[in-house]
Amino acid sequence: MSRKEGQIALAISAYNKGQFTSLKAACTRYDAPYSTTYDRVKGAIPQRDFRPRNQKLTDLEESALIQWMLSMEARGLPVRKDSIRQMADLLLEKRTGVGRIIVGKCWVDNFIKRHDSLRTKYTRKYDYKRAKCEDPMIIRDWFRLVHNIVAKYGILAEDIYNFDETGFQMGVIATAKVVTGSEYTGRAIHIQPGNREWVTVVESICADGWVLPPMVIFEGKVHISTWYTDQLPADWTIALSDKGWTNDSLGLKWLSDVFEKYTKDRV
């Protein structure tokens, strides 16, 4: 339940229990929108409870889609509507096995309206170095936890690796309309700017400062060298996927072709 729905529920409950002489007073106390709360008292059904007859995705698929969107937002990569549509089409294709089935032009807008946990807003540019240092309390606690574990088990720096994926869309303008969680206040932060072609880079570094060559995942079926104006380093691993995203197969490829290959001689 979103914060707004919770406020409405509290106002209605308090009013029904006689804690307030008027519904408007209850709404003021719990900061609930009066017109919406009034409609609910009169029997109106929340929009999120309406299920379209021609619903494309299952409830489980919609839930998974929301979790992906919120996860991307948490990484500083709030998704655009076209990315949501692409992901919905991919879920449909995986379930039905038919690639021609796609969601409609207005599907994303209706999807957002049906889920109180989502809303649209505009992003702003944000420097990555600032983003890394934004929450010092969390960062400090994390480093303290890692330090204690390293000391407890005698782990050497050359045995500690961190790896992560960074996704971006090439050529996306700095300010764009994205979808975020409804609890998020202010303008959405898009840490990495992203043409609408998605590219993912899997990178890893050892705690002693040694860096593994990256894996770069492009959207496509066949790797074409003329994609680049300059020659890429010989030790970079190039991979392809339908959407330019990682998947289980590419994760295994990274472990065998990159991590295992370049770290086995360091053991």
* 153 in any annotated domain: no
User: What pLDDT is recorded for position 262?
Assistant: 93
Sorting pLDDT into bands at 50, 70 and 90, what band is 209?
very high
Residue 211 located in a structural domain: yes
Task: Taking residues 207-228, report their average pLDDT.
Answer: 86
Asked whether residue 26 falls in the same domain as residue 93, the answer is: no
**Is 219 in the same domain as 257?**
yes
Of the chain, the percentage scoring pLDDT greater than 70 comes to 76
Residue 131, pLDDT score: 59
Whether the pLDDT of residue 68 is over 50: the answer is yes
> 215 and 267: one domain?
yes
pLDDT score of 194: 41
Q: Are residues 266 and 206 in the same domain?
A: yes
Number of domains in the chain: 3
Q: In the predicted model, is pLDDT for residue 1 greater than 80?
A: no
- Shared-domain flag, residues 64 and 31: no
Residue 9 placed within a domain:
yes
Q: Is residue 113 part of a domain?
A: yes
Query: Average of pLDDT values for 70-91?
Result: 83
Asked if residue 116 lies in contact with residue 6, where contact means CB atoms within 8 angstroms, the answer is no
Asked whether residue 151 is assigned to any structural domain, the reply reads no
Asked if residue 136 belongs to a domain, the reply is no
Phi, psi (degrees; rounded to nearest 5) at 23: -65, -35
Q: Produce one character per residue of 185-213: b if its CB has 16 or more CB atoms within 10 Å, e if not.
A: eeebbbbeebeebbbbebbbebeeeeebe
For residues 184 and 228, the model is more confident at: 228
Residues 200 and 262 in one domain: yes
Out of 18-27, 52-61, 190-199, least confident range: 190-199
Whether residues 262 and 205 fall in one domain = yes
Residue span of the structural domain in which 79 resides: 59-118
Query: Are 92 and 104 spatial neighbours (Cβ–Cβ below 8 Å)?
Result: no
Distance CA 98, CA 96 (A): 5
Do both 63 and 108 map to the same domain?
A: yes
Q: Which residue has the higher pLDDT, 164 or 224?
A: 164
- Do 69 and 112 fall into the same domain? yes
| Within a domain: 206 | yes
Provide the residue count of the chain. Answer: 267
Give the residue from 91, 118, 145 where a domain finishes.
118
More confident of the two residues 251 and 1: 251
> In sequence order, what are the residues at sequence separation of 6 or more whose Cβ sits closer than 8 angstroms to the Cβ of residue 74?
none
- Is 210 part of a structural domain of the chain? yes
Q: What distance in Å separates the CA atoms of residue 198 and residue 244, rounded to the nearest whole number? A: 5
